[in-house]
Amino acid sequence: MIYDVTIKSHEKDSYKLDLVLDSLVLLNPQPNYIYIISPSGFRPNHSFYRKKIICLKDDEVTPFIDRARISVMPNWVWTNLVSLTQNFTENDFYLDVQSDVFFLKQINLFDELGRPKLFKTTSNEANNNNGESSYFRFSKEMFSVNKITDGDSYIIDYTMYNKTIAKKIYSKYRSVEDMLEAAYKVIDESRFPADGEIFGNFVEKFFPDFYCITREINHCFSGVRSGEGRRSTVLAYINKCKQSSFMNSCAFHDWK
């Protein structure tokens, strides 16, 4: 199966982005192209994937999503809306990978039948059993998408999206622009999107046989306040996580 990788990055993550790229060698199969989106169009110095990397500035992303009209956490909400609406990747399938995620073991992205895997986790305790969170108030109002299974979360830092299915999520709107107009009006402190939850629960409800929905991934995360991250700290954290026989991936966040 052919797919692309998308990585939406901020300058605060640039010091570890090459480590994220290093870990992509554990993806099976390998991606066709790797799209890196950032405010400046930053290109990491990475020789192995040099010919596969395509860098885009935020304002080159299509469709255009207006940060100025997002009233709550505009950068974070923008990245979530891009996941669900982007039309710049060459392939229909795209694995969206957070810019601070590191794969530790081989990740098989398709099952023996050729179906893409949609990963969920039981480790996201804050969201596992809360179908009334801000995420779901948004998805219910915008797309009539509810939380399907308590105890699970699709917020796992990497999701295999499909452009055709993603468009069906907002098919009740005349266009993606109309959907975005509605989203700008709905988003507030109590309603905002979580891309993985929207897509995952939509698939689980309407296209459960198209994907292989699995809990096989064990994921852990740590982090520091933005500006305090050090490459040596990240490397030590990755090496520590590799010692666990249970961990498939880990993340090191720079929180503001």
How far from 95 is each of 83, 98, 160, 163, 183, CA to CA, in Å? 10, 10, 4, 11, 24
Count structural domains, the chain: 1
φ, ψ of residue 84 in degrees (nearest 5):
-90, -20
Q: Under a CB-based contact definition with an 8 Å cutoff, are residues 186 and 142 in contact?
A: yes
Query: Cα 56 from chain centroid?
Result: 17
Q: Which residues contact 249 (CB under 8 A, 6 or more apart)?
A: 101, 102, 103, 104, 105, 107, 157, 158, 217, 218, 219
Q: What is the pLDDT of residue 128?
A: 42
pLDDT for 34 equals 97
Quote the domain boundaries for residue 220: 4-255
Question: 3-state DSSP call for residue 88?
Answer: coil
> 29: cis peptide before it, omega within 30°?
yes
* Beta pairing partners, 7: 36
Q: What is the pLDDT along the chain (256 residues), one digit of tens a residue?
A: 899 999 999 888 888 899 999 999 999 999 999 999 999 998 888 778 989 999 999 999 999 999 999 999 999 999 999 999 999 999 999 999 999 999 999 999 999 999 999 998 865 555 444 556 889 999 999 999 998 887 788 988 899 999 999 999 999 999 999 999 999 999 999 999 999 999 999 999 999 999 999 987 777 766 555 566 688 888 988 998 888 878 888 888 876 5
Distance in angstroms (rounded) separating the CA atoms of residues 245 and 207 = 32
At 132 the pLDDT is 63
Nearest to 17 by CA among 76, 101, 94: 101
Predicted local distance difference test score (pLDDT) of residue 225? 58
What three-state secondary structure class fits 129? coil
Single-letter residue type at 70: I
Element (H, E) at 252: strand 249-255
Task: Report DSSP letters for 37-62, one per residue.
Answer: EESS------STTTTTEEEEEGGG-S
CATH number at residue 212: 3.90.550
Packing angle of the helix pair 74-85, 176-186 (nearest 10 deg): 150
- Give exposure, 73-86, as e/b (b: 16+ Cβ within 10 Å): eeeebbbbbbbbbb
Q: What's residue 156's pLDDT?
A: 86
